Amino acid sequence: MSATPRGARSFDAVDLIRKKREGSELTKEELQWLIGAYTTGAVPDEQVAAWLMAAFLRGLSGREVKSLTSAIVASGEVMDLSRLSRPTVDKHSTGGVGDKVSLALVPLVASFGAAVPQLSGRGLGHTGGTLDKMEAIPGWRSELSAGEVLAQLDSVGCVVCAAGAWLAPADRKLYALRDVTATVESTGLIAASIMSKKIAEGTSALVLDVKVGSGAFMTERARASELAQAMVELGRASGMKVAALLTSMDVPLGRAVGNALEVAEALEVLNGGGPPDLVEVTVALAEVMLELAGLEGDPREALAKGAALPTWEAMVRAQGGDPSAPLPVAPVVEHVLAQQDGYLSKLEARAVGVAAWRLGAGRSRKEDPVSASAGARCLVKPGDFVEKGQPLLELHVDDPTRLPRALEALQGAFDFVQEPAQLPQQPPLLLGRTG
């Protein structure tokens, strides 16, 4: 994409920075020019960084978010899924601790006849990434060409892979810049980033899982609702069927936090078991995905019968993985013990996520390696009675020198009460729906 397409008007980056700094709304043409020029390198990082900070502080109007999203989509190619015989539907989560829902959800929905093109990302900080989890499977590869993605959707019905360099390249540059300029936490910028990639992916329908709570990116329900509404509106404006569920993330989802540990737990779900909270969120999202795709079925019954397991195995094999191979196991397992008797009243998701990250399951920078086997298992959940000395968490680690900092992260992560009546009311897992 050229910085100034033939016949298009050229603008001055300083003028656009000043305009946004003063609180004015940029036009569609101005944003198209800015994003196009930045993608080609005609506008440097420092000028776009200044514009991002102005946008962060002044906010973006609904029109600006829509124009920004369109400009990011136009910076690359859009996948054409129209030749597929199956209806297309995808899911995106804003990220949380222990959120391995996609691993079971993608093959589950595909087993009902949908095509699910799950172009995923990697973890950063205390929230895990789907690609990191899947790469714990021996032989599995995340990098596929657009042709391979289409062929796998045709043959298997689902794919989990990295977004290619051709998809919304402007977002890749913008996200890296936002990460180092403290401009990530902007509802408009987040909505444009997420939805530009999903629109470029070419899916006809999308369900958004917007996490709310201490372990989520959005800790306040009002802001999460605002983000959900913005993304639903962007998707619908592009012709996509979209709905968003708000789900709770104050406590880790399921019991496993960490790459191989989460794959193993997702397999429990696909085999008809698994933690009830993980099953509940998976089923709720599957029901909405099937609704938007125009398909019928009972996801809960399908999971109980293990009906989606063959689709999972076919998907893993298609990407070079061995679904029967043992998953990596950490050589060191340490336990965090209860310091008193009582009912567990708090298990803070963010603290557990940070501990798993420090054990090696996550990264501080996108280029950092991760450990497939590192992580944590929650042996108790809020409401459970524990005795002094009873294990609360298992910490799995390759390098024992990482343990002290992980334990530091868990200071204050647990609270206890002496009577069941003193337990605080836990928020429901499903907090609401938009769209």
Separation CA 360–CA 170 (nearest Å): 30
Q: What is the DSSP letter of 338?
A: P
Please list the pLDDT of the chain residue by residue as tens digits (435 residues).
334 444 457 899 999 999 999 999 999 999 999 999 999 999 999 999 999 999 999 999 999 999 999 999 999 999 999 999 999 999 999 989 999 999 999 999 999 999 999 998 776 666 778 999 999 999 999 999 989 999 999 999 999 999 888 889 999 899 889 988 989 889 999 999 999 999 999 999 999 999 999 988 889 999 999 999 999 999 999 999 999 999 999 999 999 999 999 999 999 999 999 999 999 999 999 999 999 999 999 999 999 999 999 999 999 999 999 999 999 999 999 999 999 999 999 999 999 999 999 999 987 666 678 899 999 999 999 999 999 999 999 999 999 999 999 999 999 999 999 999 999 998 899 999 998
Whether residue 186 lies in the annotated active site: no
Residue type, 374: A
Burial class (CB in 10 A: 0-12, 13-18, 19+), 407: middle
Which structure tokens are listed for 78?
């859009």
Question: Tokens at residue 30, please?
Answer: 């101005």
For tokens 């310091």, name the residue.
339
SS3 (DSSP) at 141: coil
Q: Which of 93, 111, 193, 373 is catalytic?
A: 193
Q: Is 335 a catalytic residue?
A: no
Question: Exactly one of 86, 91, 122, 178 is catalytic; which is it?
Answer: 178
Catalytic entry in 66, 172, 197, 241: 197
For 388: left if phi > 0, alpha if psi spans -120 to 50, otherwise beta; the answer is beta
CB 382 within 8 A of CB 422: no
| Domain range 89-163+202-318, CATH class | alpha beta
User: Catalytic site residue 92?
Assistant: yes
Element (DSSP H or E) covering residue 346: strand 342-347
Ranges in the chain annotated CATH 3.90.1170.30: 332-422
Whether the CB-CB separation of 169 and 76 falls below 8 Å is answered with yes
Is the CB of residue 81 less than 8 Å from the CB of residue 117? yes
Examine the residue annotation and report whether 141 is marked as an active-site residue of this protein: no
The per-residue pLDDT for 363 is 74
Look up residue 369 and give its two tokens: 């390696």
* Distance between CA atoms of residues 32 and 21, nearest Å: 18
Class for the domain spanning 332-422: alpha beta
Strands 391-397 and 116-120: unpaired
User: Annotated catalytic, 179?
Assistant: no
- What stretch(es) of the chain map to CATH 3.40.1030.10? 89-163+202-318
**Tokens representing residue 257 in the block:** 């936090």
Interstrand relation of 158-162 and 116-120 (parallel, antiparallel or unpaired): parallel
Question: CB-based burial of residue 292 (10 Å sphere; 0-12 exposed, 13-18 middle, 19+ buried)?
Answer: buried
The contacts of residue 212 (CB under 8 Å, 6+ apart) are 218, 219, 220, 221, 224, 246, 247, 248, 249, 431
90, 99, 132, 171: the catalytic one is: 171
Instruction: Report the C-alpha gap between 340 and 345 in whole angstroms.
Output: 13
Distance separating alpha carbons of residues 294 and 299, to the nearest angstrom: 14
**Verdict on whether the full-model pTM lies above 0.75:** yes
Q: Which of 19, 20, 86, 92 is catalytic?
A: 92
In angstroms, the CA 27 to CA 193 distance is 18
